[in-house]
Structure 1
Amino acid sequence: MKKRNLMAFVGILLAGGILAGCSNSKNSKSNSDPQAMKAAVSDQMATLNTAKYSDMISLEAMDNAFEGLYRFDSKGKPVLAGAQSVSHNEAKDVYTFKLRKDAKWSNGALVTAKDYVYAWQNLIAPATASPNSQRLDPIKNAQAIRKGEMQPDQLGVKALDDQTLQVELEAPISYLDELLTGAPFFPKNEKVVTKYGDKYGTTSDKTVYNGPFVVSGWKGTNDTWSYVKNNNYWDKKNVKLKRADIQVVKDTSTAGKLFQTNKLDYTILGNEFAKQYANNPGYHSKKIPLIGYLGFNTKRDITGNVHARKAIAQGFDKKLLVKNVLNAGTPLNGIVPADFAYNSETGKEYRKQAGDLLPYDKKVAQSEWEQAKKELGQNELTLEVLTSDTNEAKQVGNYLQSQLEQNLPGLKVNLRAIPLKSRLAATTAYDYDVVYGTWQPDYADPVNFISDGGQYHLNTDYQNQEFWNDLDQAAGEYASQPAKRWEALIDAEKHLIKDDTYTAPVYQGAMTYLLSSRVKGLNISPYGTVLLYRDVELK
């Protein structure tokens, strides 16, 4: 989102609607302003601070308004962006990046190597409490800094001069370019951050940008904002789009009507319409590595009980959820999705090799539930499931409530649906029993899901040392041994999901959306639903 990149149900189905009769010809003239593209998102933006985000709406804004050393091209491949060249030592654990001399911030200041050093050190500092700090773990000393064993200035990143950045890794990794496309690795202008302090990133005018667009009109809580072409962007000549106007549309039928009446160029389809409009002009669909999951507050009595967690995780029919509620996607029985990552040595697909860890099994769920009630000393238990307040998230919540109350005797499930920003704050503050959300990755490696995957408080609350040892081995001694590294990651996922059920996987998503024929060059992140406007042209 990346990015704990969470949002409640943004990946598979965000906003759709009653779209009968819409056509390419009608939508080819969709806006009164021919220079502006209009798009819908499912919820409010939470932040523009790259150290603080954990939702996909914020991530999308950052991916369009900031730029790191790499970015994704139109084919979904990482290419140099803020850097114009890169070299490495023979061991491939020290990389040297030469920055573009014409890269500037939107206030006219040059983007320097110190901006990267400052941003990364700020994000990894325990005092920042970034939900994405673990993303820096491949960088030298990052894990020790996160644990408070070393200082942030000991992170393996140096500014050799204004245009030269040196990055030292703990061990060689094959996905460094993909990793560095992510928002946690974007630079920050220290002067601007210092100027605004805690207010930095809370509104569009308390932020400075180095990407193809600047964010305009976002006041922190409003439902509309714009991405406006950044005239200080180094490659502005290749940015054709002058403005993208964004509006929050939570109701699926409303979003559909707006598209139908030419007031939107883009909207994701809601689950009610994914099948109904499959043959409609402007319809698009693609399978994505987005996951739906349940997170548990292990500090609460009931969800702190492993048997209760296992009962909940296996106590609802995932196939019926996908077929009757979502109308898209597939059941998922591990936290790493299918058709996402392949072993570079053996060619094996990860999910097939790791197998099913938590499939729906009513008998097993009821057995675990009886054990949980026995250990808790209660026959009647009440839990709350927290979701976002989008239509689809609430529908999933209703389905879970019905299934769990039916399959787990003595359980009463209450639902609480609140705006995404509030839901993120509630999970951060431990104000939940069970939270339902979705998450999408930043790079094509299983560790992105296993060590992150939208799992709140994983770094502080999950105490299985075998899990952490597996991750350490995968990042260290097995880093250049793909087969052994794969085995370590599979073992880590088994501890996390099957043995301890710290998180419960639910489904893997598919993205269905409507796009006006006048929009050309709109790219979507290869790992999810984030729109990239850099190459858009309006016809």
Structure 2
Amino acid sequence: MKKIFYVVTLLMAVLLTACGGEKEQPKETDTAAVEKQMEQVMTFNLGADPKSVDPQLNSATDGGIVVNNTFEGLMRVDANGKAQPAGAESVEISDDKMTYTFHLRKDAKWSDGKPVTAADYKYAWLRALDPAVASEYSFQLYYIKGGQEFFEGKGTKEDVGLEAVDDHTFKVTLKAPTAYFLNLITFYTFMPVREDAVVQKPEGWAKDPSITLSNGPFKISEYHMNDKVILVPNEHYWNKDSVKLDKIVLTMIVDSGTALTAYDNNEIDVLGSNQVPVQEIPKRQVEDPTFHIVPFLGTYYYIFNVNKAPTNDINVRKALTLAIDREEIVTEVTKAGQQPATGFVPTGLVDSKGNDFRATAGDYGISTTADVEKAKEYLAKAGYPNGEGMAPVELIYNTNEGHKAIAEAIQEMWKKNLGIEVNLVNQEWAVFQDTRHVGNFEVARAGWIGDYNDPMTFLDLWTSYSGNNDAQWNYTKGDFPENKKFDALIENSKVAQGEARDKDLYGAEKIMMDELITMPIYYYTGVIMVKDKVKNWERDILGTWYFGNVEIIE
């Protein structure tokens, strides 16, 4: 493509000269300018500096975008959400669905040219299960025989069902058949890493271009904290011929207004999910063909800290949940076609019979509009009639104009409907994640995007052993017997099939919703903007962006 464009440019210059035009043949400096114009560069706004871009430590969408384009797992999700062979060229599944044997591509290489081996996958997966590493996604590997036991100190890593048979054969043994296992392993946590890179700088190797190694279509050439990441093609990638971009600039503009201005000034080519100021959405929908509202499998919600007053009282949690008007939030604040949320699992996921999980599970008595009278009853039961005697509630959110607007709307609803004061506190993204994770909050903003197409991806994060259970709802650390029942249902669902599994999953959501450890607000849609010149971009319903096939055509 580049060579053809260059030849045409030179021929045009020659023809103009022959016809008596005023243009001269390109000089050496002109050739350099032409080649610079031909460079395939895409600028994408991440929206924040990712807390991590380490496959086993990342737990956020922004870091996942970097990981998904610099690393490659055994399988990769295609544009239709189907798992396809990637780092593996084929897989054999045993008759009992318990053993998966992956045959790795013999031409798969790391960015330094060394082969990607089965031992690299084994190292990465055991690293995710190592309690010393404290991966928030370690629970995703509990499907593997011996995985949970290793993480909990009840078994050794030698007992985990992972075997590097030879350099190009990786065998995985599960504890029970898992129908969505191939989809599961497309997730970031399952991507390989090289031990010799990790040990040099365990906490920061992935952001250090002098150390980091990757096996995906791109590699990190520069990392400037709170500014930008530069990705360039991995010249050793097995499918390098499909990669057209010469460079990807990942900016970290937090303020949506600033990001949109940069987009309008052609300084940014792509705005990732939900980076358009809400007041701009109605106008852009009508006037800007590069504006898109796309499906997004996720739930926007607030987390209650069930281990800290006043939200350790379920009556307070019920009052706060019933006192908000979700319809008003999606129509007057977010304005992008979101659906009010009355349960945690979003619409779009089905059970074994093909029924929509959300529609079947119901709304747990949560209305899309405010039920003020019932909310007041629960607040009075908690000992705060009309909000009297209740200290101001602290609500934290990560710095973002959209999150701020929602928080302000809810602050006003709680004040008007319950008579309580709410203090809003915003924090920088990485700090916010740590604050929420350690439980240093009362109410906190959150959002969960599915990792794969199954209701389990929204439910198992609330188990006692999940690194993402920021509600602090954990029977091993407090008096939460319902959490123990919840764990049992999730564990049963991992070995159950069909309707029996459905019953476990529906039962699990009912427990967490009856306990109201979270306050669902709405189900996501994705608001994105992509310049017309950016071709062949891929973003699936899980919000995963892939740039391996992108081409810039002016």
Q: TM-score, normalized by length of structure 2?
A: 0.86
**Alignment of 1:475 onto 2:489:** no
Partner of 1:256: 260
2:426 counterpart SS class: strand
With over 3 angstroms needed to count, the CA separation of the structure-2 counterparts of 1:378 and 1:33, relative to structure 1, is: farther
CA distance in structure 2 between the aligned counterparts of 1:321 and 1:153, rounded to whole angstroms: 51
**Alignment of 1:133 onto 2:143:** no
Deviations, residues 205-237 of structure 1 (Å, cap 9, x unaligned)? 442111111123214x32211221111111111
Segments of 5+ residues of structure 2 without an aligned counterpart are 1-35, 463-467
2:302 counterpart SS class: strand
Partner of 1:534: 548
Partner of 2:120: 115
Q: Does the aligned pair in 1 maintain the 2:103–2:168 contact within 8 Å? A: yes
> Among residues 410, 426, 430, which one is paired with 1:417 in the alignment?
426
CA distance in structure 2 between the aligned counterparts of 1:94 and 1:122, rounded to whole angstroms: 21
**Alignment of 1:310 onto 2:318:** yes
- RCO greater where, 1 or 2, for CA within 8 Å and sep 6 or more? 1
1:159 counterpart SS class: strand
Partner of 1:162: 167
Q: Does the aligned pair in 2 maintain the 1:455–1:503 contact within 8 Å? A: no
Partner of 2:280: 273
Segments of 5+ residues of structure 1 without an aligned counterpart are 1-30
* Letter in structure 2 aligned against 1:318: R
Partner of 2:528: 513
Aligned residue runs from structure 1 range 81-100, under 5 A: 81-100=86-105
Q: Does the aligned pair in 1 maintain the 2:309–2:442 contact within 8 Å? A: no
CA distance in structure 1 between the aligned counterparts of 2:161 and 2:444, rounded to whole angstroms: 35
Partner of 1:201: 206
Q: Does the aligned pair in 2 maintain the 1:192–1:207 contact within 8 Å? A: yes
**Alignment of 1:434 onto 2:443:** yes
Deviations, residues 416-471 of structure 1 (Å, cap 9, x unaligned)? 11111110111123221111022211101111001127542556656522111110
Partner of 2:519: 504
Partner of 1:35: 40
CA distance in structure 2 between the aligned counterparts of 1:430 and 1:143, rounded to whole angstroms: 24
**Deviation of the 1:373 alpha carbon:** 2.7
**Alignment of 1:343 onto 2:351:** yes
2:292 counterpart SS class: strand
**Alignment of 1:484 onto 2:500:** yes
**Deviation of the 1:32 alpha carbon:** 6.0
Rg larger in structure: 2
Aligned residue runs from structure 1 range 168-179, under 5 A: 168-179=173-184
Q: TM-score, normalized by length of structure 1?
A: 0.88
**Deviation of the 1:96 alpha carbon:** 0.4
**Alignment of 1:331 onto 2:331:** no
Which deviates more, 459-468 or 511-520? 459-468
**Deviation of the 1:76 alpha carbon:** 2.8
Partner of 2:299: 291
CA distance in structure 2 between the aligned counterparts of 1:308 and 1:79, rounded to whole angstroms: 46
2:294 counterpart SS class: strand
**Deviation of the 1:33 alpha carbon:** 6.6
1:415 counterpart SS class: strand
**Deviation of the 1:144 alpha carbon:** 2.7
Deviations, residues 131-170 of structure 1 (Å, cap 9, x unaligned)? 1111112211223333332223322211111111111112
* Identical amino acids, percent of aligned pairs: 29
Q: Does the aligned pair in 2 maintain the 1:138–1:170 contact within 8 Å? A: yes
Which structure 1 residue ranges, 4+ long, deviate > 3 Å from structure 2?
31-34, 202-206, 457-463
Query: Number of residues paired by the alignment?
Result: 499
**Alignment of 1:301 onto 2:288:** no
Partner of 2:109: 104
With over 3 angstroms needed to count, the CA separation of the structure-2 counterparts of 1:248 and 1:32, relative to structure 1, is: farther
2:461 counterpart SS class: coil
**Deviation of the 1:270 alpha carbon:** 2.8
Q: Does the aligned pair in 1 maintain the 2:58–2:189 contact within 8 Å? A: no
**Deviation of the 1:97 alpha carbon:** 0.4
Aligned residue runs from structure 1 range 178-217, under 5 A: 178-217=183-222
**Deviation of the 1:372 alpha carbon:** 2.0
CA distance in structure 1 between the aligned counterparts of 2:312 and 2:179, rounded to whole angstroms: 37
> Among residues 333, 352, 361, which one is paired with 1:354 in the alignment?
361
